[in-house]
Amino acid sequence: MDPQKFPNLLTRRDFFRQAACAGVGTLALGAALRDFRLINSALAQSSPDAYSDYKALVCVFMSGGNDCNNLIIPRGSGYANYAAIRQNLAVPENVLHPMVPENGDGNDYGFHPACGGLPVGSSGRALALLSGGYDSPVAAFRLMRRGLACDFVHFTGAPLTGPASAYKAYALARRLARFQGETRLWLVPLGQAQRELALAGAGALQIVAQRRLMLRVADRIARGHGAHALVTGDSLGQVSSQTLSNLGTVERAAELPVLRPLLAWGKEEIMAEAGRLGTAEISRLPDEDCCSLLLPRSVATRTTPAQLDGFERRLDLDDTVEALLAKAQCLPVCAGAGEDADVSSRRAAS
């Protein structure tokens, strides 16, 4: 449509800009709708020839569902009227995320609690160590909510174990891709390196030594592919490798910062969150976890970096890390419509 023929015409872009601002107040939205009716009236009274050359293709892509009346909700004095209208569909006022509109209508509003967090990628990129358990997928999701885009690395027990854990890791990464879009998963066969640690006499240091080796490899992958942090699902005191001293010893093996969003979470809280995310049904599938390989009779719970440095000098860790990187496979991962069927088929097969 030629704007010179309709100098007072409100364009679609201007309309939706006003409507977006109106999300913080019904008065502004009412004004935008009034202007839209005026546009329709003006077009109806104009000659059809004046805009016969105008064509538009409008595409609306919708995924999932959204109750627009429960997206931006009145707070304070306006909440009682909202609750009376919505009745059993009303969202409790105490769970709303308060919002401060730039140009509001004088009333208080809040976002639905599901609208929390930051845009994925706005806080940078990290590499998450993804096991087949409950913890690490939840840890990655919590940081996605804070704007961190996550790639993943999974350490298998190959060649000492089968491929089951790799299937689980891929299914978990695929489920998490729903929250951020396409991502990448590195699969690293750690089994032979674990055997070398055991043969070198790691003994009670075995678990901490292999965790340090994982972080060394993950650190190299992350720094080589644009990530600025590592993410783990550690929870303080949950297992022997997650005591305060062992966590400190392990993270010294990495140059990048190690983020642990679940450090103060209990196992019940983590499993409940995994259930809400839809990762629990994958995590409970059986597999051969590399961390359960070559377990010593007792595990050191109060290690120091000096202890591990002394043990690691018996090995050529630089060559070990390079060998693991050479064997690593990188898989592109995106959420697909068939993921639920994939998980169900694997459960049935097991």
Domains of the chain from N-terminus onward: 12-115 (no CATH), 124-349 (3.40.50.620)
Tell me the percentage of the chain whose pLDDT exceeds 70.
77
pLDDT at 47 (0 to 100): 54
Pair 321, 216: CB distance under 8 Å: yes
The Cα-based distances of 246 to 78, 200, 301, 302 in angstroms read 52, 20, 6, 6
pLDDT at 185 (0 to 100): 97
Q: Is the dihedral of CA 72, 77, 82, 88 positive or negative?
A: positive
Q: Which residues of 87-108 are buried (b: 16+ CB within 10 A; e: fewer)?
A: eeeebebeebeebebeeeeebb
Q: Which helix (H) or strand (E) holds 43?
A: helix 26-45
pLDDT at 71 (0 to 100): 86
pLDDT at 233 (0 to 100): 97
pLDDT at 38 (0 to 100): 58
Name the pTM for this structure. Answer: 0.70
Q: Which of 252, 350, 233 is nearest to 291 (CA)?
A: 233
pLDDT at 97 (0 to 100): 82
CA distance 47 to 6: 12
The Cα-based distances of 244 to 27, 131, 249, 250 in angstroms read 55, 20, 9, 10
What is the residue-level pLDDT of the chain in tens, covering all 350 positions? 455 544 554 555 554 555 444 444 444 445 545 555 555 565 555 555 555 666 777 776 665 566 778 888 999 888 999 999 999 999 999 988 887 666 677 788 888 887 778 888 999 999 999 999 999 999 999 999 999 999 999 999 999 999 999 999 999 999 999 989 889 999 999 999 999 999 999 999 999 999 999 999 999 999 999 999 999 999 999 998 999 999 999 999 999 999 999 999 999 999 999 999 999 999 999 888 777 777 888 899 999 999 999 999 999 999 999 999 999 999 999 875 444 434 333 333 33
Tell me the percentage of the chain whose pLDDT exceeds 90.
57
Angle between helices 135-144 and 164-176 (to 10 degrees): 20
Query: Each residue of 270-296: pLDDT tens digit?
Result: 999 999 999 999 999 988 877 777 788
Q: Is the dihedral of CA 308, 313, 316, 322 positive or negative?
A: positive
Q: Is the dihedral of CA 61, 64, 67, 72 positive or negative?
A: negative
Query: Each residue of 133-190: pLDDT tens digit?
Result: 999 999 999 999 999 999 999 999 999 999 999 999 999 999 999 989 889 999 999 9
